[in-house]
Structure 1
């Protein structure tokens, strides 16, 4: 298939599968989601993503209509149906279908959606430009909710400023990006914002930290400021498709680029992990 859409047991292309009008996602964004890259028929780090998916659903009281093992097998089966070598693999669960009402019934069962489409994996070696703005989102940053309007606006801001990402801060304290985590290296130490209600617990960030431990790079999970960001030896943004992407300018101001040894070692280790997990050489 050229692409694949799945909704509550129905499978087709994105143009064929339809969604009930009263699915609560339409009115309230009432659901949670996950996404990863697929390579060689394998959804990357799928166990980690499923753990976070179920945690997000529990935080909002949403009932996922299948267990982890069943959903994992479904993702493998659906991925095998789509043409191409590397893919964007996305899934979400909404609270269910009911007449529009802010209050929902306690017996609702969620509706599962899946989207899979071919997508190339770019190089994680190519430095990027980012922009910075104030973080005005609500206090559910740790839940991968469907309410993505702030992420849309911040992503558009980056696009309009010819940047790859928008780094967010609260009163000068860096949190994360519009759809990525941000971490820094300073004096050989890896710093990243702790997992709290202000940031999403990034799977890619978690694996960067694990890679640091294997490499002997000290890790401190502590919030850092904008001043520390601009003074960092290296700045990295990480997501399910950008595992460790170096930042070389912020709003046109040159930054980082002063610890290539640790940066390259970290990137090499993440590429090795990806290849071991998927059996694919698509990432470089």
Structure 2
């Protein structure tokens, strides 16, 4: 198949999938999701994404009738059915299907998956341009919920300005980006915001920390401000699709470029890990 959609056991092309009108994701965004990439039909860091997915479900009281192993096997099987060497893998669960009501009881969760070709770019040379904006999102940012309207609006503004991403901040404390984590290199230290209710526990963030430690780069999981970010030696945007993206501009100001050696070390370590894990 050129692409694939799955909903509670039904499999079709994405354009052909039908979802019940009363799915609670429709009315309330009542669900959680996760996403990653795959190469050679090998899903990258699958166990990490499953762990986060099930943790998100537990935090919003969604009960599933499938295990981590069962979902992992299903995702692997579905990925093998898509005729592409590199793909994006998205999976979500909603609380269930029922007439619109804020309360819920005895609902069977709905599992939805889609897989589509995506050209992966593990680039040393690409530089990203960002903008900052106040973080008006709610206090559940550590849960990967379907409630992404602030992220959507901020991303749209960035796109209209010809930019790649948005950096959120709360009273000048940097939190994360619309669909990435954000970290810095300063004076030889890799610094990233601590895990709290204001940031998602990013899988790429986790492996940036592990890579830093393996390379002998000091790590600090402490908050930093917008001004500290702008003054950093390097600014790193990280997500499953961009595990170590170098930032060159924020709010029209040139940034980074002062510690290319450590940046290249991190990129090389992470890219080699990706290609090794997804090798045939």
Q: Deviations over 1:104-147 (max 9, x none)?
A: 01x22211000000000123321111111100000000000001
Aligned 1:64-79 pairs, distance under 5 A: 64-79=64-79
CA RMSD in angstroms, aligned pairs only: 0.8
**How many aligned positions are there?**
279
TM-score, normalised relative to structure 2:
0.98
Aligned 1:196-207 pairs, distance under 5 A: 196-207=196-207
In 2, Cα distance between the equivalents of 1:64 and 1:83?
Answer: 29
Q: Deviations over 1:65-119 (max 9, x none)?
A: 21000000000100011111100000000000111101101x2221100000000
Post-superposition offset of 1:42 = 0.8
Aligned residue in 2 for 1:122: 121
In 2, Cα distance between the equivalents of 1:273 and 1:172?
Answer: 34
Aligned residue in 1 for 2:173: 173
Post-superposition offset of 1:165 = 0.4
Post-superposition offset of 1:17 = 1.7
Residue 234 (1) aligns with residue 229 (2): no
Residue 225 (1) aligns with residue 222 (2): no
Residue 22 (1) aligns with residue 22 (2): yes
Could you tell me whether the CA contact under 8 Å between 1:94 and 1:111 is conserved in 2?
A: yes
Could you tell me whether the CA contact under 8 Å between 1:192 and 1:221 is conserved in 2?
A: yes
Could you tell me whether the CA contact under 8 Å between 1:131 and 1:161 is conserved in 2?
A: no
Moved more, 203-212 or 154-163: 154-163
Moved more, 160-169 or 183-192: 160-169
Aligned residue in 1 for 2:246: 246
Residue ranges of structure 1 left out of the alignment (5+ in a row): none
Aligned residue in 1 for 2:155: 155
Q: Aligned to 2:16, what secondary structure does the other structure show? A: coil
In 1, Cα distance between the equivalents of 2:15 and 2:130?
Answer: 34
In 1, Cα distance between the equivalents of 2:64 and 2:203?
Answer: 20
TM-score, normalised relative to structure 1:
0.97
In 2, Cα distance between the equivalents of 1:177 and 1:203?
Answer: 14
Aligned residue in 1 for 2:63: 63
Could you tell me whether the CA contact under 8 Å between 2:130 and 2:163 is conserved in 1?
A: yes
In 2, Cα distance between the equivalents of 1:47 and 1:194?
Answer: 22
User: Which consecutive segments of 4 or more residues in structure 1 shift more than 6 A?
Assistant: none
Aligned residue in 1 for 2:88: 88
In 1, Cα distance between the equivalents of 2:83 and 2:116?
Answer: 8
In 2, Cα distance between the equivalents of 1:104 and 1:157?
Answer: 35
Residue ranges of structure 2 left out of the alignment (5+ in a row): none
Could you tell me whether the CA contact under 8 Å between 1:87 and 1:120 is conserved in 2?
A: yes
In 2, Cα distance between the equivalents of 1:258 and 1:27?
Answer: 48
Post-superposition offset of 1:158 = 1.1
In 1, Cα distance between the equivalents of 2:38 and 2:85?
Answer: 8
In 2, Cα distance between the equivalents of 1:48 and 1:149?
Answer: 25
Could you tell me whether the CA contact under 8 Å between 1:65 and 1:111 is conserved in 2?
A: no
